[in-house]
């Protein structure tokens, strides 16, 4: 019994009818034409959620005062501290360390390893468990120009073009040059990359890439990366301590405003802990769980913008935080999977997007923002989308093409997680297409950093999704797994250098919070929300207000 039901089965007939001609075209190496640069600009302006005026407003305080961000972000940037009404004794720290790492996904773990290589004592605090992060959920691959015919130079050009020339060139240079080193580092730690029987790496295209440089581990590349870096970190019990279920809720500064530690909150015991550190790294991920513009998300449960909020209060400047990535292919059916990621690898393997009439309507590997704009246009403007029983629009992602193009069993081998995820609901994606629509996937901007991951505040570093500038206003696939490792390692090294020059015995204060909250008052913000929020609140209002006896 198919999970699609009769009505969808009927609609799928149009996809099946057009498939043989589309497969023949693909076999001849012909593709649906990509948009021209002018069309790209026009379609982005008309259809991409980032280009809407609604749902955005200027932030009234802080280093980026006057800049327009999504409302959800501006509200949190103007929030007051969880600690405002509490008395925390800062004079006797519970922990003292060389480097405090806030957030234990790919970036934080890579930083801990790099700092530990330099002989530093590292304390890693994480909101949930070690590795619970967007890194572990990343599917399709990691870019690295380590194959014949490719070079960091081409990778650099692709990243800059994909970001519409808004990226920070120094950060892109750092990332693309370090990429082959990172792939080699992962392999030496035991990562199981997809390979040909003769040992060569299997590499593929992602959207907006001029060379095949996407390295993968099935459709669980992030999980495999996290496995090796986490194992390595957890083996280093002499230098790396990990505190789980202990999110940071505020940074601490000394009398000069340098960052010197943080306050952690233990989610289990509900106690606060004071940490003194010579260097502090924020690697706590992005803001997907704020559901910007009402979109569902692919993101990890803890992606609530905490790092940005704390860093902003301490005076760190932000960059491109008004730019959000909507992944073109999020699940819209079955309802239980709504918003979940369908990796770009599916299109990298040849699957095409088609509308209700079975027509292909865009080049499948446009840069992500453009591809998303194409899907939104097809559904909302052209009205050639499909509507699910709960009213969600979507188009077909014709995954059965993959087995036809590459041989029976390819879907199960290359996309095992996706195959199981749909099979659970009676849908065999090697035989039936998937219904998709864009889903909130990534925070393109973030804390402004340099190539050494240093922020504008002494003692504070930022790496991974929490930081901005690397990808400009649009990230290409496979560059976030790379970014977290490149800048995580760079942050670990730079934090070690900083720690070596710092006595780390200054007074611990919350002076920056007091000043920030004064600026809230001065700006006329009378009832600020409390932030960071730590976890998203999905309790419906009617449940919250219910009286239980
Ligand atoms: C994907 O597999 O499409 C997501 C990975 C990424 O965002 O780079």
Same fold, 5-50+325-440 and 80-323+444-501: no
Our mutation pick for probing the ligand 1 site, out of 219, 343, 486, counting the most ligand atoms within 8 A of Cβ, is 343
List pLDDT tens digits, range 217-266.
999 999 999 999 999 999 999 999 999 999 999 999 999 999 999 999 99
Question: Three-state DSSP class for 217?
Answer: coil
Q: Tokens in use for 345? A: 């690898």
How far, in Å, is the centroid of ligand 1 from the Cα of 144?
14
Looking at domain 5-50+325-440, does it have CATH number 3.90.700.10?
Answer: yes
How far, in Å, is the centroid of ligand 1 from the Cα of 339?
14
pLDDT of the residue at 499 = 96
Map 348-405 to HEC letters.
Answer: HCCCEEECCCCCECCCCCCCHHHHHHHHHHHHHHCCCCEECCCCCEEEEEECHHHHHH
CA angle 132, 137, 139 (to 5 degrees): 160
CA–CA gap between residue 172 and residue 472 (Å, rounded):
9
**Residue with CA nearest ligand 1 atom 1:** 343
Phi-psi sector, 548: left (phi>0), alpha (psi -120 to 50), beta? beta
CA–CA gap between residue 398 and residue 346 (Å, rounded):
9
pLDDT of the residue at 546 = 72
Our mutation pick for probing the ligand 1 site, out of 139, 285, 286, 436, counting the most ligand atoms within 8 A of Cβ, is 139
Pair 480, 518: CB distance under 8 Å: no
The parts of the chain modelled with pLDDT lower than 70 are 1, 547-549
Give the nearest ligand 1 atom to 221 CA: 2
**Residue with CA nearest ligand 1 atom 7:** 477
Question: Three-state DSSP class for 341?
Answer: strand
- The residue among 136, 63, 21 whose CA lies nearest residue 456 is 63
Query: Measuring from each residue's beta carbon to the nearest atom of ligand 1, which residues come in under 6 Å?
Result: 138-140, 341, 343-345, 477-478, 480
Pair 126, 243: CB distance under 8 Å: yes
How far, in Å, is the centroid of ligand 1 from the Cα of 206?
9
Sign of the torsion angle spanned by Cα atoms 31, 32, 33, 38? negative
pLDDT of the residue at 492 = 98
pLDDT of the residue at 541 = 83
Catalytic residues: 327, 347
CA–CA gap between residue 242 and residue 361 (Å, rounded):
49
Nearby residues of 39 by Cβ (< 8 Å), 6 or more positions away: none
> Which CATH fold topology does 80-323+444-501 show?
FAD/NAD(P)-binding domain (3.50.50)
Domain ranges (residues) in the chain: 5-50+325-440, 80-323+444-501
State the DSSP H helix or E strand holding residue 308, giving kind and residue range, or none if neither. helix 306-313
CA–CA gap between residue 325 and residue 330 (Å, rounded):
12
pLDDT of the residue at 385 = 97
How far, in Å, is the centroid of ligand 1 from the Cα of 213?
14
């Amino acid at each position: 019994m198919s999970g699609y039901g009769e009505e969808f089965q009927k609609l799928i007939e149009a996809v099946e009818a057009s498939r043989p001609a589309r497969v023949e075209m693909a076999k001849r190496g012909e593709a649906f034409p990509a948009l021209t640069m002018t069309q790209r600009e026009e379609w982005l302006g008309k259809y991409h959620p980032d280009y809407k005026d609604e749902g955005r407003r200027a932030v009234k305080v802080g280093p980026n005062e006057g800049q327009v961000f999504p409302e959800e972000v501006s509200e949190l940037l103007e929030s007051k501290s969880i600690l405002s009404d509490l008395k925390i004794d800062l004079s006797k720290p519970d922990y003292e360390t060389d480097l405090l790492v806030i957030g234990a996904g790919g970036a934080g773990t890579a930083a801990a390893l790099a700092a530990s290589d330099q002989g530093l004592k590292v304390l890693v605090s994480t909101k949930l468990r070690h590795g619970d992060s967007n890194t572990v959920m990343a599917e399709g691959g990691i870019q690295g120009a380590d194959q014949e015919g490719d070079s960091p130079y081409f990778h650099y050009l692709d990243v800059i073009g994909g970001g519409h020339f808004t990226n920070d060139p120094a950060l892109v240079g750092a990332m693309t040059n370090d990429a082959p080193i990172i792939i080699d580092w992962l392999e030496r730690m035991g990562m199981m990359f997809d390979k040909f029987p003769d040992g060569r790496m299997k590499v593929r295209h992602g959207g907006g890439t001029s060379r095949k440089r996407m390295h993968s581990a099935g459709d669980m590349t992030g999980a495999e990366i996290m496995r090796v870096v986490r194992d390595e970190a957890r083996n280093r019990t002499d230098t790396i301590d990990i505190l789980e279920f202990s999110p940071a809720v505020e940074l601490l500064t000394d009398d000069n405003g340098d960052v010197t530690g943080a306050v952690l909150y233990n989610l289990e015991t509900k106690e606060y802990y004071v940490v003194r550190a010579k260097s502090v790294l924020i690697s706590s991920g992005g803001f997907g769980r704020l559901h910007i513009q009402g979109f569902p998300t692919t993101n990890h449960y803890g992606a609530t913008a905490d790092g940005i909020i704390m860093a902003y209060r301490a005076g760190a400047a932000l960059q491109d935080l008004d730019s959000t990535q909507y992944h073109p292919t999020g699940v819209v059916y079955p309802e239980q999977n709504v918003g979940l990621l369908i990796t770009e690898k599916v299109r990298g393997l040849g699957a095409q997007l088609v509308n209700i009439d079975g027509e292909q309507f865009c080049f499948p590997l446009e840069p992500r923002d453009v591809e998303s704009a194409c899907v939104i246009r097809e559904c909302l403007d052209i009205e050639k989308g499909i509507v699910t029983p709960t009213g969600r629009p979507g188009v077909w992602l014709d995954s059965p093409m993959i087995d036809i193009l590459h041989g029976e069993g390819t879907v199960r081998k290359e996309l095992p997680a996706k195959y199981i995820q749909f099979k659970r609901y009676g849908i065999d994606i090697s035989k039936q297409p998937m219904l998709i629509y864009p889903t909130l996937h990534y925070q393109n901007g973030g804390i402004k950093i340099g190539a050494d991951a240093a922020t504008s505040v002494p003692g504070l570093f930022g790496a991974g999704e929490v930081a901005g500038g690397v990808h400009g206003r649009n990230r290409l696939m496979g560059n976030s797994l790379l970014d977290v490792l490149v800048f995580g390692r760079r942050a670990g090294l730079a934090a070690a250098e900083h720690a070596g020059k710092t006595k780390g015995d200054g007074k611990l204060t919350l002076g920056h919070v007091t000043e920030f909250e004064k600026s809230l008052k001065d700006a006329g913000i009378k009832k600020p929300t409390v932030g960071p929020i730590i976890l998203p609140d999905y309790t419906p209002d009617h449940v919250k207000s219910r009286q239980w006896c």
